């Protein structure tokens, strides 16, 4: 525990003692079914408890008919749910962690779709939502009273299930925050008007929840320290609200975050990506803590125990939300406590498997840790019955993960990489502005390779002769992909380069650049930003509806804002057809009508990759057991590469 005296000190709230200051904040997992925690849901949270988390707060529970959609969320609207939640509480408590439950109502920030039909969304006032384009119905007083009662009943059910505390969500522009905000609450009855009136709904909810859960259990709120939206609550307003709650003795703690789901600008702070500084919310949390005299929790890009220790030692917070840190490595707390810091698989803030899966409607996972969310489907494999010699061809994420996994099972593994470094396309991704942290994927795997004892041979291209020399029992082919070169009329007479050559500085783009982005992912947007930051005049033509169409939405919108500030012109619905010395000819992907871009010195083609299958074809006649992983199967993303590497390593 050297160096973590604050992080691993216990914290007592009422009758509940939490063993350390590491918190898994409430976050949607999409592992529930029928509104109840499934065995997968329970195994997911039990893994974080077993790994040493002090406190786990389960995701926003729906507690009233006006909160429920068809999404796979947890619902506490009936006493029938209590046994399932008791199983979850028992599993978390068995590993020494405490368990709180969130209660949340989205208000106007919801489409409330059921059976393909949009339902009625309710809010303090009939004012439109600019993100979901919802026009809500103003809550009648009778329904407000019903909601207060439902909050209390939901809390009671979780308490009867064995939960140690309840957290009421007043953050991120959701229903309670809408009541608190004079820009979204235009009511003239007792639930509107001055701050006292706007706080009345929250006060009644907290009083009812306390009445239902008793005095022994903990009651707190989650609130944005600032909503970072043009019409959102600002820091001064939030501080006054927190001071009023503390003065009334209504809450035992305040859990701070940043941002709002009400707009595209504030949403990036809901799950901040790697471009956002580490621990950046802590000073704002510290200001609230200094003013209210209550324990304060904080979250926001705290992915290493050293960061959390500094925040707590500085008096900025009493607990640190390290949710994605434990999505990437459930054993992070135990490793930190034991001083095994080099073994921690650090979160890289890519948002691909966690919030990215949620926004696609899929259950939670992590691109670095495919076992996350699949704890029952992918338990730790048993050691191999017989030690075998395994050759892995390709040192990108797929090959590295395959090698680590096979070696961990007891095999003798040789990993060969044709280039001078391990990393594959991650080496390119980390060159983009504010994307260096993506390289942590490779740093984490390199450490795991070293600890697993994998033999690494760089500048070594695998062929049939090398296979004969090594004589492996099985081969994992993870040779990746190579840039796809589409047919472009006039290419020979113009300056056309691919995105990879721009990032490796092998190409020298002119001052006026058109980036032709076929895949609508990080490559096109990243190269456009890279060039614009270096003084080029950039246009980004995307073969889709918008730039970053296939990126996680918070990240995409934040990136779109950066491109706008840099003056990058985005041309949607555009496919590159031809070029000449000064122009690029595109076609509208719907109508086929021409889009001509004049004044172009260089066209950068981001047309994706094609699978590198040469080695697979060469080795197939040898009859050796062979497994394929990653882009050599089909070029996709690092998530598929790592997952398939894991599965190949488990299969050999």
Count CA within 13 A, CB hemisphere, residue 539.
Answer: 21
Model pTM score: 0.96
| Max CA separation in the chain (angstroms) | 84
Could you tell me where the DSSP H helices lie in 131-173?
141-160
Token pair for 294: 């209550």
The DSSP call for residue 510 is -
Domain boundaries, the chain: 11-360, 389-483+612-651, 491-607
* Residue of 242, 290, 282, 275 whose CA lies nearest to 258: 282
* Model pLDDT, residue 511: 97
Topology (CATH level 3) of domain 389-483+612-651: Rossmann fold (3.40.50)
> Which tens digits make up the pLDDT trace of 255-309?
999 999 999 999 999 999 999 999 999 999 999 999 999 999 999 999 999 999 9
408 sits in the region (left: phi over 0; alpha: psi -120 to 50; else beta) called alpha
Tokens of 440: 């942590």
Q: CATH top-level class for 11-360?
A: alpha beta
- Three-class SS state of 406: helix
CB 532 within 8 A of CB 563: yes
Q: What is the pLDDT of residue 5?
A: 97
pLDDT for the residue 2: 65
Q: What is the pLDDT of residue 111?
A: 82
Low-confidence ranges of the chain (pLDDT < 50): none
For 266-375, where are the E strands, in sequence order?
A: 296-299, 319-321
Question: Can you give the three-state secondary structure of 244-261, one letter per residue?
Answer: HHHHHCCCCEEEEECCEC
The CATH number fitting domain 491-607, selected from 3.40.462.10, 3.50.50.60, 3.10.450.50, 3.30.1240.10: 3.50.50.60
35: region left, alpha or beta (phi > 0 left; psi from -120 to 50 alpha): left
CA-to-CA distance for 151 and 117, rounded, in angstroms?
26
Residue 88, helix vs strand vs coil: helix
């Amino acid at each position: 525990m050297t160096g973590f005296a604050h992080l691993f000190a216990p914290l007592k709230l009422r009758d509940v003692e939490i063993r350390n200051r590491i918190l898994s904040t409430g976050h949607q997992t999409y592992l529930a079914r029928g509104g109840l925690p499934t065995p997968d849901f329970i195994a997911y949270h039990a893994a974080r408890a077993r790994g040493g988390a002090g406190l786990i707060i389960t995701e926003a529970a729906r507690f009233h008919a006006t909160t429920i959609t068809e999404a796979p969320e947890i619902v506490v609207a009936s006493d029938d749910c209590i046994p399932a939640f008791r199983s979850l509480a028992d599993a978390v408590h068995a590993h020494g962690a405490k368990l709180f439950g969130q209660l949340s109502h989205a208000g106007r920030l919801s489409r409330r779709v059921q059976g393909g039909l949009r339902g009625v969304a309710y809010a303090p006032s009939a004012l439109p939502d600019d993100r979901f384009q919802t026009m809500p119905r103003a809550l009648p007083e009778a329904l407000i009273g019903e909601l207060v009662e439902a909050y209390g009943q939901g809390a009671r059910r979780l308490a009867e299930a064995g939960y140690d505390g309840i957290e009421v969500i007043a953050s991120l522009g959701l229903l309670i925050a809408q009541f608190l905000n004079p820009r979204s609450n235009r009511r003239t009855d007792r639930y509107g008007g001055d701050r006292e009136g706007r706080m009345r709904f929250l006060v009644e909810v907290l009083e009812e929840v306390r009445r239902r859960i008793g005095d022994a259990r903990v009651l707190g709120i989650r609130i944005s320290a600032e909503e970072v939206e043009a019409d959102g609550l600002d820091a001064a307003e939030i501080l006054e609200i927190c001071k009023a709650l503390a003065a009334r003795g209504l809450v035992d703690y305040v859990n701070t975050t940043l941002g709002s789901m009400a707009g595209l600008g504030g949403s990036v702070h809901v799950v901040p990506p790697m471009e956002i500084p580490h621990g950046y919310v802590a000073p704002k949390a510290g200001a609230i803590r200094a003013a209210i005299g209550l324990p304060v929790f904080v979250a926001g890009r705290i992915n290493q125990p050293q960061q959390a220790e500094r925040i707590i030692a500085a008096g900025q917070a009493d607990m640190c939300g390290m949710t994605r840190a434990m999505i990437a490595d459930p054993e992070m707390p135990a490793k930190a406590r034991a001083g095994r810091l080099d073994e921690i698989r650090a979160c890289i803030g890519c948002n691909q498997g966690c919030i990215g899966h949620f926004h696609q409607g899929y259950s939670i996972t992590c691109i670095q840790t495919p076992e996350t969310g699949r704890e029952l489907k992918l338990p730790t494999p048993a050691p191999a019955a017989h030690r075998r010699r395994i050759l892995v061809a390709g040192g990108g994420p797929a090959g590295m993960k395959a090698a680590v996994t096979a070696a961990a099972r007891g095999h003798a593994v040789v990993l060969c990489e044709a280039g001078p470094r391990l990393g594959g396309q991650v080496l390119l991704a980390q060159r983009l502005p504010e994307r260096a942290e993506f390289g942590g994927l490779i740093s984490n795997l390199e450490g795991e390779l070293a600890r697993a004892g994998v033999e690494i041979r760089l500048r070594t291209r695998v062929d049939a002769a090398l296979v004969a020399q090594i004589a492996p029992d099985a081969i994992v082919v993870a040779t990746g992909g190579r840039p796809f070169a589409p047919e472009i009329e006039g290419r020979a007479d113009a300056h056309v380069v691919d995105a990879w050559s721009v990032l490796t500085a092998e190409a020298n783009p002119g001052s006026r650049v058109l980036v032709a982005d076929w895949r609508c992912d990080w490559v096109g947007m990243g190269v456009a930003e890279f060039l614009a930051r270096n003084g080029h005049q950039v246009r980004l033509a995307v073969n889709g509806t918008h730039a970053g169409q296939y990126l996680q939405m918070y990240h995409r919108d934040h990136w779109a804002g950066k491109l706008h500030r840099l003056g990058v012109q985005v041309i949607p619905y555009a496919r590159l057809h031809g070029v000449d010395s000064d122009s690029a000819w595109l076609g509208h992907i719907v109508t086929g009508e021409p889009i001509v871009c004049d004044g172009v010195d260089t066209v950068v083609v981001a047309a994706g990759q094609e699978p590198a299958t040469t080695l697979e074809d060469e080795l197939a006649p040898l009859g050796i057991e062979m497994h394929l992983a990653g882009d050599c199967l089909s070029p996709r993303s690092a998530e598929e590469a790592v997952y398939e590497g894991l599965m190949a390593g488990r299969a050999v």
